Amino acid sequence: MADGVDVERIDSNAPHIILTWSISEEDERDPAAFSYRLERAASPDFSDSRMLYEGRDRASFRAGLAEGSYFYRVRATDEAGNAGVWSRPLHLEVAYQSMRLALSLFAVGAVVFLATLVLIIAGARKDRCEAVEQEEAT
Amino acid sequence: MNGAHETAVLSPQIGWFLLAILGVLWVILGVLWGKKAKNMDGYMVAGRNVGLALGAATAMATWVTSNTTMLAPQFALELGVWGMLAYSTACFGLFLFAPMARRIRRLMPNGLTSGDFIRLRYGRPTWVVFLAISLTYSFAWLVTMAMAGGLLMNAVAGIPFAWGMTVILLVCVLYTLFGGLYAVIGTDFVQSIIILIGVVFVGAVIYQRIDFDVTYATVVAEQPAMLYVLLPAAIIAFFNNMLFGFGEVFHNNVWWSRAFAMRKGVPAKAYMLGGLFWLPIPIAVGYVALSSDVLGINLPRPDMLGPLAAAEVLGAAGAVVIFVVLFCSLASSIDSLLAATSDLLTEDIYRKAIHPSATEGNVRTASIAIIIGLGFLTWLTCMLNPGTLAQVLFASGPLVGSAIWPVAAGLFWRRSNPAGAFAAMVLGSACGLYAYFTIGWYSGALVGAAVSMVITLGAIVLAPRDFDWKSLNESNEELRRGTIR
Amino acid sequence: MIYFPALFVQALILGALILTGLSAITLLVMVLIDFLRKRVW
């Protein structure tokens, strides 16, 4: 019934992901009437699965992910308590950007930041002197 | 609205009630304070006599946008402790603008907009590029904030998106229209106090409710990346975020009009204090991200953390406080943007480009039409609900980043070259956008600022120009004479 | 991986909450002073 996981594998370099799901499009009932159970596992057979969320929301933001593989699946339960089948699992592979890219962008940023700082501090000092001269002139 | 979240934390009745009270309060205060505006100078720059308390509060409140109260927790979720620290560094923009504000106030005692400065300093071609950058950014900011208002009222109280958005926009248009910058700055003060007290109250109650050691251990076990010191995504985002902030503050008329509005001797102190007051807020709201797992909160959208956590811990009372705080933080930025952007359109487009001989009455009429028009255009864009507009705002990072050096160097260095400033903004924006789409969002403002800096410096070294600072002091005599009502 | 130490994070949070509170009080005192000296606007 729940088939919200449309892509089988996602590669991400960010430590977070937003998961969304819904009931299948052929099912004409209101998706808000269902309760959903989201599970995560480290292996594709879900032998070590853990419940992450159970409730009526149809999305979940997962934060703070370390590098590695994650498998997610979701299942809907209707108001009468009938549980549907598990969705196709989503395989999330988190691998961060390289430290080299990170540090080089950080270095460029630091240079621009420091240069801006110098420009403004030096400018402000000169501005004070000019202001004093202007006061004296008037 | 993706409808992913099914449980509004307040009933629509309470939501409407709060909306009505706050809306009426702001409009009444706006009309009352607006009575101080005797002429266009009063209307656009609040009589140029704003004191330190209101000056510092308005700098802080304007910088506390929905971006701070909604995006800071999101940043903390996405990038962990680094996210909070990186967000806090946005206050450096206000610190660095402080000496600029003092100089702006001194060199341009009759100035009205940041566009005035660019036109007088660099001439028309550069001015046109600058206006294009500034208006793109301002409009994207305005629309995303009005939309955030609608989404928020919907998520917190179940008020339909269109209604929540319309009401918050209408309230801001009304009091800005009646009261001009007097109303904007006055309401900013009240909104600042409400925001600060609300943030401390909710933050402290949540802190008391969670056991810090348990929270920390849970994060280490479940969301370890939030505590990583060497998280590449965070290290990458750090300076990009800071430079984006610099670009926003340095170029935008929201900040310039406040520098013009403050009494002599006030601007530098007010911006320093405003930055200091703002500094702890992203951490005070953002830290809740660390506790989301311990509190057992599911986040259908990362920007919903604040309201959901407050409602979880404090129940309806917490939701009311958060609703009020968010309304205030949205209103204090929407009003500022409406006022400053319509001033930019009135002064730079209408008075300088279309109708140079306009009388005070003409300008006032144009200004009213422009505020209403801008409000309507914002409303219309929000109704079309463009999912891509937040993208436009993020993608404006390279544009505003490329304005940092032309503005700062033009303000402090006599030798800055107008053609250099033109090229710096055009090429800086182009390279920054290219990096944004090819390398990643986290490089846009950074590359824009870096390229623009190199070009600005290169032009000064290769072709230095001279400039007489006195020519920045343009008289706006015709606007200050007479009264408007 | 190196983690931010618990003490650092705790100090950061408490510091931020206290500073935010102080900001509110400072602003109120400042406006009171401005008001008494008739220098609000």
Beta carbons of B36 and B42 less than 8 angstroms apart: yes
**Domains delineated in chain B:** 12-388 (1.20.1730.10), 396-473 (no CATH)
Query: How would residue A2 be classed by pLDDT, with cut points 50, 70 and 90?
Result: very low
Tens of pLDDT, residue by residue over B170-197, are: 999 999 998 899 999 999 899 989 999 9
Q: Which residues of chain C have pLDDT under 70?
A: none
Measured between CB atoms, which of B51, B81, B200 is closest to C41?
B51
pLDDT at A108 over 70: yes
Domain boundaries, chain C: 8-36
Which region among B348-357, B379-388, B452-461 has the lowest average model confidence (pLDDT)?
A: B379-388
| Gap between the Cα atoms of B41 and B39, Å rounded | 5
CATH number at A9-94:
2.60.40.10
Side-chain half-sphere exposure of B243, counting CA atoms within 13 A: 39
The stretch B23-41 carries a mean pLDDT of: 90
- Percent of chain C scored above 70 by pLDDT? 100
pLDDT of residue B479: 54
Measured between CB atoms, which of B36, B81, B263 is closest to C9?
B81
Measured between CB atoms, which of B243, B300, B408 is closest to A60?
B300
Residue of chain B minimizing CA distance to A40: B222
pLDDT of residue B390: 66
The stretch A9-32 carries a mean pLDDT of: 87
pLDDT of residue B306: 81
Query: C touches which chains (3+ CB pairs under 8 A)?
Result: B
pLDDT at A95 over 60: yes
The stretch B209-235 carries a mean pLDDT of: 93
Tens of pLDDT, residue by residue over B77-135, are: 999 999 999 889 889 999 999 999 999 999 999 999 999 999 999 999 999 999 999 99
HEC readout, chain A: CECCCCCCEEEECCCCEEEECCECCCCCCCHHHCEEEEEEECCCCCCCCEEEEEECCCEEEECCCCCEEEEEEEEEECCCCCECCCCCCEEEEECCCCHHHHHHHHHHHHHHHHHHHHHHHHHHHHHHHHHHHHHHHC
| Gap between the Cα atoms of B135 and A71, Å rounded | 44
B283·C12 Cβ contact <8 A: yes
C24·B200 Cβ contact <8 A: yes
Other CB atoms within a 10 A radius of the CB of residue B21 amount to 11
Please tell me what DSSP assigns to residue C2. P
Which region among A5-9, B255-259, B435-439 has the lowest average model confidence (pLDDT)?
A: A5-9
Residues of B in contact with C21 (CB under 8 A): 196, 200
- Dihedral of CA B407/B427/B434/B228: which sign? negative
Length of chain B: 485
DSSP B6-25: ---SS-HHHHHHHHHHHHHH
Query: How would residue A49 be classed by pLDDT, with cut points 50, 70 and 90?
Result: very high
- Chain C, 9 to 28: residues with Cβ < 8 Å from chain B are 9-10, 12-21, 23-24, 26-28
Beta carbons of A57 and B6 less than 8 angstroms apart: yes
Which region among B135-139, B294-298, B474-478 has the lowest average model confidence (pLDDT)?
A: B474-478
The stretch B205-232 carries a mean pLDDT of: 93
The stretch B366-386 carries a mean pLDDT of: 91
Amino acid occupying residue A29: R
Query: How would residue B16 be classed by pLDDT, with cut points 50, 70 and 90?
Result: very high
B200·C26 Cβ contact <8 A: no
Measured between CB atoms, which of B52, B200, B204 is closest to C34?
B52
pLDDT of residue B444: 92
Give the distance from CA B409 to its chain's centroid: 23
pLDDT of residue B11: 87
> Is the pTM value of this prediction over 0.80?
yes
pLDDT at B226 over 90: yes
User: What's the whole-number average pLDDT of chain B?
Assistant: 89
